[in-house]
Structures are given as C-alpha cells and as structure tokens.
C-alpha cells in the first residue's frame, strides 16, 4: 500500500465537497419550463406580478426550505394538483437560481403584456368625447 494513497482518497472524496453552483438563473428542463411557464402566465394574467415578485424576492434565501416544505405538503397538494406537476415544480425549486428564473420570467411576461396591451387598451379606452374625463353613466346604463 502506498503512503500517499489515504491522502489521495481523502482528496478525491472532498474534491466536490464545497462545490458552489454558478450565480444566475437556473436552467429548467423542458418539462419544468412548461410547468413554470403555466404558473408565471397565470400570475401575469391575474395581474399579481408585483405581489409575486415581492414574495419571491423576500423568500429567496429560504427557497431550499420552501422546496422541503413542498415535499412535506405533497400528499395534500396532490389531491388538487397532478402529482407529476407538483414533483417537477418541487425539483425545480430545489435548485439554486430557480427563484431568479421565476422573477425574470414574470418580469418578461409582464413587460410583454404591457407592450401588447398598451396599444389595445389605449384604443379601447379612448373617450369618444375627446376629453380626459372618465365617462359617467347612470346605473341604468344611460
């Protein structure tokens, strides 16, 4: 037996002990991306982007704990949500950078919705009288 072999084994065992994932958003698998996209689209559709971003940013340091809580809540949640979707979302949220990815997607979709909706909203909400006052209608619609 070599005199350096125990050190080599220890060194090889500890080589990745302090591995840190690179900073930045996580890259989801195609299945995870589909689940996340559905959630993000629903958040933007309901106009809850601001609240969701505040919640995600404030809970970023606890994202690992949140993923563990999702494992704990799985039996209850899967009564309402498909188990495959729940496990995909849980697996994605376990990774570092997942919260950043969610925030970036919400911001992107919100920006797209504002750009797409600004032209249609301004055209549909134009006051036919040409002034800036809101239309006042009586309760009977007249």
Which tens digits make up the pLDDT trace of 67-105? 889 999 999 999 998 999 999 999 999 888 999 999 999
Q: Is the dihedral of CA 9, 11, 16, 18 positive or negative?
A: positive
Would you kindly state where each structural domain of the chain is located, as residue ranges? 28-114
Give pLDDT, residue 112. Answer: 93
pLDDT range class, residue 140, cuts 50, 70, 90: low
What is the pLDDT at residue 5?
83
Largest CA distance in the chain: 98
Q: Which is more confidently placed, 94 or 23?
A: 94
User: Rounded to whole angstroms, how far apart are CA atoms 126 and 47?
Assistant: 22
**φ/ψ of residue 129, rounded to 5:** -75, -15
Quick one: pLDDT at residue 36? Answer: 93
Is residue 66 within 8 Å of residue 106, measured between CB atoms? no
Q: Which residues of 92-101 are buried (b: 16+ CB within 10 A; e: fewer)?
A: bbbbebbbbb
- Give the pLDDT score at 19: 64
- pTM value is 0.66
């Amino acid at each position: 037996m070599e005199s350096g072999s125990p050190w080599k084994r220890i060194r090889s065992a500890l080589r990745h002990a302090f591995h840190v994932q690179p900073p930045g958003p996580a890259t989801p698998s195609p299945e995870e991306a589909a689940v996340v996209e559905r959630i993000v689209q629903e958040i933007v559709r309901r106009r809850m982007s601001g609240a969701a971003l505040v919640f995600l940013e404030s809970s970023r340091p606890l994202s690992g704990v949140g993923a563990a809580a999702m494992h704990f809540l799985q039996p209850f949640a899967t009564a309402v949500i498909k188990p495959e979707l729940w496990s995909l979302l849980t697996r994605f949220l376990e990774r570092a950078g997942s919260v950043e990815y969610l925030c970036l997607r919400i911001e992107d979709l919100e920006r797209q919705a504002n750009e797409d909706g600004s032209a249609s909203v301004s055209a549909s909400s134009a006051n036919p009288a040409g002034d800036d006052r809101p239309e006042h209608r009586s309760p009977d619609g007249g």
